[in-house]
Amino acid sequence: MQLETQPLQLKLSTPFRIARGVEEIADNLLVTLSHDGLSGYGEAAPSAYYGETATTVSACLERFARELGDDPFLIADILERLDHVIGRNPAAKAAIDMALYDLVGKLLNLPLYRLLGLNPARSALTSFTIGLDTPEHMAEKAARAQDYPILKIKVGTRHDVENVRAIRAVSQATLRVDANAGWSVKEAIRTINALAEYGIEFVEQPIAPGDLEGLRLLRQQIPVPIIVDESCVSLEDIPRLAGCVDGINIKLMKCGGISHALKMIHTARAHHLQVMLGCMIESSLAITAAAHLTPLVDYADLDGNLLIDNDPFCGVRVIQGKLILPERPGLGVVPRVHTGGENDKQGVV
């Protein structure tokens, strides 16, 4: 198999602010794997928080190109070789992994969900994210997102209650809040109990990732479930989280791709944990790869492609929040034809 890479710079429609920073451009990479006249595509969305950049991903992919072999069906063997070559670097491995699944699906003329034996009718509703801003601007964004029945509200500041109150005043959507580890335990107890008045469904990553005892204490003191993101990076994190939280957020870019995500889903179920599939700022390529797995999970937060202006691909569609999986082979993603019209973009900000 031949591997090619190229930059994939994604421009956010508006600066995207969370508790630990702001993002305007996502420097991703596109991977193309060619075999037997067909091409499979993958995307890496590196996060500095997890120790990856576009430069480190590019270096990893260059090294991985020599380890792919000639049989794209041997996905488990290929990924095992990559783990031996370079540890960690999950976004680089996720790009290879999804490109392999895309290629195999095309060789078999099957969409990924059929390849995995999943029912597309059971795909999840995705939330739509409202980044940190003033209460007025957050409420305005929420009002414009009326086509999405679930909103994820970024929190982790001194103004969280004011922000959520402003959003609830203009929206009857289901509200989830995500602090990105922005609170101390005491702040989390106080703030979440105040936010519960506005009918939030759950809170995501309220406190620092390594504070398991804090999560256990917090869970006893609040009336809503806790889903963790930064606390759960890989398969090995799941057993220690059982009893501390109610669920985990799996991202292809954190865990290393579709293969690892499937293992994490089943392991979480064995530990009686709920599962959400999340994302970084990604194009429709990586978002669609994750969307194919949503028939297996409870929640989805797959809106990274809806937050950008220059999505180069078409894949999964969103209708009233429902993820509609493509029926084309593999991931089912094709290049987007940019006409300058309103159909070029599915999201609102």
The residues that are catalytic are 154, 178, 204, 229, 251
Give the DSSP letter of residue 39: E
Q: What is the helix (H) or strand (E) element at residue 42, kind and residue range?
A: strand 38-44
Closest alpha carbon to 248 in 228, 231, 263: 228
Which DSSP string corresponds to 114-158? Answer: HHTT--GGGPPBBPEEE-S--HHHHHHHHHHTTT-SEEEEE--ST
What's the burial of 203, exposed, middle or buried (CB within 10 Å: 0-12/13-18/19+)?
buried
Report H helices in the chain: 54-64, 75-85, 90-108, 112-115, 135-144, 160-170, 185-195, 212-221, 238-241, 252-255, 258-270, 284-291
Please list the residues that pair with 324 across neighbouring strands: 317
348 SS3 class: coil
